[in-house]
Amino acid sequence: MSVLPDMTRGSVTVIGDVMLDRFWSGASRRVSPEAPVPVVSVAGQDDRAGGAGNVAVNLAELGVSVSLVGLCGEDEHARALRDCVESAGVRWNVMPCAANTIVKLRVLSRNQQLLRMDFEESLAAHANDLFVRYAQQHLADADLVIFSDYAKGTLELIQPLLAHCQTLGKPTLVDPKGTDFERYRGATLITPNLSELEAVVGRCETEQALVEKASALRESLDIDAMLVTRSEAGMTLIQGDQPAQHFSASAREVFDVTGAGDTVIAVMAGCLSAGLAMPEAARYANHAAGVVVAKLGTASVTPSELQHAAAGSGPEIPDGVTGEEELTDVLAALRDAGRRIVMTNGCFDLIHPGHIRYLQQAAALGDLLVVAVNDDDSVKRLKGESRPVNTVQDRMAVLAALEAVDYVVPFAEDTPARLIERLAPDVLVKGGDYTVEQVAGHESVLSRGGEVAILDFVPGHSTTGLINRLND
C-alpha cells in the first residue's frame, strides 16, 4: 500500500501572483428594501493567502520548506497577507512595489458565497528586469520552482526566469493562465484545467481527443509533462512517449473549488521534491484535490488527510494477499471512494527485473494494482509438470511485498476471465505480444467503459530463461 513520502526534506520556491483572500461572514435573514438582494449582518472576518500565497501555504502544510516570491503593495492588505503567509511557516520574499495589494473579498452566509469583490490592478509594469533579478536570487536553494500564474502581471517576464531555472538544473512547474502557452516553453510540467487547455487547443469532445491535442501541445512547447485537471472526470497525465494516465476523481462531495488548482500543483511539487516519479505524484495530487474541494474557501490539505485519502476507505488486508470473496468487497468500497482499479495476471513463478518494471508501469495507470496469480494446478497445465518452481502461496507473498502491488488473489482456471468480470477493474493490463482482442477478460472491461493496456516486457528477462540457466 502507498505510504505518503516524507516531504520535510524538500525545498520549493513559489513565484507568482500573490493576493489576499478576505472573507466576511454573517447571518442573512432579510432582503434589502432598496434592492432585491440579501442583507448580511457581518459578524466575522477571515484572511487567507490567495494565489501563489495559497500554493506556498499548501506546501508548508505538507512540511515542505517554502519561499514565496512575488509583488505586492506596501499597505494594510500586504501586512495582513504577510501575516497569513509567515504564520503558516512560509518565508516571505515578496518585493514591495507602488501598486496596491490585490484583494479578493468574498461575502458568505451559511457557508455559501453570496458575492465576490475584486480590488486589483495589473502588476505587469512592476514585473521588470529588477524583479527578475530579485526573483533569481531566491532560486539557488530550491529543489524545484513553481510558477503560479493568475494573469495579474507578476510573471510578465516568466521566460527569463524559466531559462534561469534550466541553467541551474531546477525542475519548473507552471499553473498556467490565458491562451498564450508559448510563454511557458521549456517548463518541466504545466497543470492547466480542461477549460484552460480547450481555450488553447479547441474543444476536446472525447478522452482520446484530449490526449491527442494535449500531447501535440506538450511536444510543440518542449514541455516534459502536462497534468490536465478535469473536475468530476479526474485528471490526465501526459508525459513524453508514455501512455496517457487517467486518474478518477476522488471527491465524494464538492463544497468549494476555490484554490483546488493551487493544492494540486503544491502536492505535485512536494511529492516530486521528495523523489516520487511523476505518475505517483499525480496520484497523490488527485487525492488532495478530492480533499480540498470539500472545504470552504481557500484551503490546504494536511499530510494525515492526504494519507487517509490515498489509503482509501475499504477494509484492511494487512499483507495484501486475499481471496476472491474478500477482495470483491474491498474493491467495491474502494470503487465507491472513487479509486481507479488496475488489474493484471500471470504465473509470476520467478520474479525478475522485467516483472518489476512491468508491475510498476501497470500501477502507474491507476490508484491501486490487483495481481491475479495462477494457482499451482493451472501453472502445470500451462507450463508443464516441472512448473511451478514456487508454490502459489510463495508467489503471492513475494508479489504482495512489492511496493507497486496492493492486492494479490489466486485463480484456478486457465484464464482469469471470470475473475476479471467479477472484480470489474477500470484498467486491465497485459504484457507481451498481445492484441487487445487476445487478452482474457477484455470484453467485460471494455463493455463497462474501462481500458485495456498492453505493456512491453523488458527484453532479456524471462522465467523460462532463468530456469534454463539454472539447469545448465
| Distance linking the first and last C-alpha atoms of the chain | 38
Residue among 103, 145, 149 at smallest CA distance from 127: 149
Torsion of CA 88, 149, 213, 427, to 10 degrees: 0
**Cell matching residue 258:** 476555490
β 38-51/18-31 pair status = antiparallel
Residue among 381, 378, 379 at smallest CA distance from 412: 378
| CA distance linking residue 62 with residue 64, whole number of Å | 6
Q: Is 256 part of the annotated catalytic residue set? A: no
Residue among 269, 272, 303 at smallest CA distance from 288: 303
Question: What are the backbone angles phi and psi of residue 373, rounded to the nearest 5°?
Answer: -120, 130
Distances (CA, A) of 431 to 197, 242, 274: 33, 15, 30
CA angle 62, 66, 70 (to 5 degrees): 130
| CA distance linking residue 355 with residue 408, whole number of Å | 15
Residue among 125, 173, 148, 145 at smallest CA distance from 70: 148
Catalytic residue, candidates 143, 175, 262, 367:
262
Q: What is 299-343 written as a DSSP string?
A: ----HHHHHHHHH-SSPP-TTSB--HHHHHHHHHHHHHTT--EEE
β 235-239/245-247 pair status = antiparallel
Helix axes 303-311, 278-292, angle to 10 degrees: 110
> Hey, what amino acid is at 428?
L
Question: What are the backbone angles phi and psi of residue 146, rounded to the nearest 5°?
Answer: -105, 135
**Cell matching residue 23:** 472573507
What is the set of active-site residues? 262
